[in-house]
């Protein structure tokens, strides 16, 4: 089965497995590589099927299990949807299975969930806004699909301002106004909206003022602020342009 990556179509796929006896193999349509053997079936969202599965999950699964499923589903690994599907089926068979860390499937899904959860937590401190007109705009490039996880944090913290957080790799964006946010897909922001402004310069000045060259610790900085995120952090221009040699 091929789906769009959403929870709605995932639970519709669960329904097909149990009711229509469809083989439990699931991929995101955007990641699936066609071959001459398989005949993929597109999952079409069915509200009745979705609600039936969701209601059953809420009755049988703990809140911790539901959260784990949400995070793991948004992992970038192409196999994550299939692992999550199998995990849901295993939990329906025995809800106590959800946290059986001796089980290989449970451990794989738990690892995926933790990686997405960790990145979401990191990005609550890795977003830098530029003021464009009356709207604050930020660009991020996370490894995983985390916008819906970080949106509540920023909407609550900056409830009095209008802002956009744009995931440039996935072409998705959070749009927030007066503390109310929504996720928009297939967004292509004009680069002019991502230009630097005085707020970016202030970040750079702040970082320069608090930095002490004699106490520079590149390895420590990379642990707390991984280098793959630096391109959208204005204060790291100083690190990029003045990298210190590392020892093995």
- Name the strand (E) or helix (H) holding 202: helix 198-210
pLDDT score, position 58: 96
Query: From CA 147, how far away is CA 176, in angstroms rounded?
Result: 12
pLDDT score, position 135: 87
- Name the strand (E) or helix (H) holding 166: strand 163-167
Query: From CA 105, how far away is CA 119, in angstroms rounded?
Result: 22
Which residues of the chain fall short of a pLDDT of 50? 202-207, 209-212, 240, 242-248
- Taking CA atoms, 234 is separated from 83, 128, 159, 239, in Å, by 37, 8, 24, 10
Q: Which domains, ranges and CATH numbers included, belong to the chain?
A: 2-121 (no CATH), 130-194 (3.30.1300), 198-241 (no CATH)
pLDDT score, position 85: 98
- On the 0-12 / 13-18 / 19+ scale of CB atoms within 10 A, 42 is exposed
Q: pTM to 2 decimals?
A: 0.81
Q: Could you report the per-residue pLDDT of 57-104, keeping only the tens digit for each?
A: 999 999 999 999 999 999 999 999 999 999 999 999 998 899 999 999
- Angle subtended by helix axes 80-93 and 104-123, to nearest 10: 120
- On the 0-12 / 13-18 / 19+ scale of CB atoms within 10 A, 95 is middle
Query: From CA 104, how far away is CA 94, in angstroms rounded?
Result: 15
């Amino acid at each position: 089965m091929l789906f769009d990556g959403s929870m709605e179509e995932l639970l519709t796929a669960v329904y097909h497995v149990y009711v229509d006896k469809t083989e439990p193999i699931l991929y995101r349509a955007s990641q699936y590589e066609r071959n001459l053997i398989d005949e993929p079936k597109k999952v079409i969202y069915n509200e009745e099927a979705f609600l039936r599965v969701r209601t059953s999950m809420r009755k049988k699964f703990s809140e911790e299990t539901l959260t784990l499923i949400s995070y793991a589903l948004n992992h970038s690994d192409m196999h994550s949807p299939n692992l999550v599907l199998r995990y849901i089926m295993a939990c329906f068979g025995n809800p106590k299975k959800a946290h059986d860390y001796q089980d290989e499937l449970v451990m794989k899904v738990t690892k995926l969930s933790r990686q997405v959860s960790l990145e979401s937590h990191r990005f609550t401190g890795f977003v830098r806004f530029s003021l464009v007109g009356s709207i604050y705009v930020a660009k991020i490039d996370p490894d995983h699909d985390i916008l819906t996880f970080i949106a509540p944090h920023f909407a609550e913290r900056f409830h009095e301002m209008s802002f956009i957080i744009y995931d440039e790799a996935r072409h998705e964006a959070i749009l927030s106004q007066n503390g109310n946010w929504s996720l928009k897909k297939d967004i292509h922001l004009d680069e002019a909206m991502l230009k630097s402004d005085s707020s970016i310069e202030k970040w750079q000045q702040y970082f320069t003022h608090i930095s002490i060259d004699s106490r520079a610790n590149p390895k420590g900085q990379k642990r707390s602020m991984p280098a793959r995120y630096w391109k959208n952090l204005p204060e790291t221009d100083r690190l990029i342009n003045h990298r210190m040699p590392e020892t093995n």
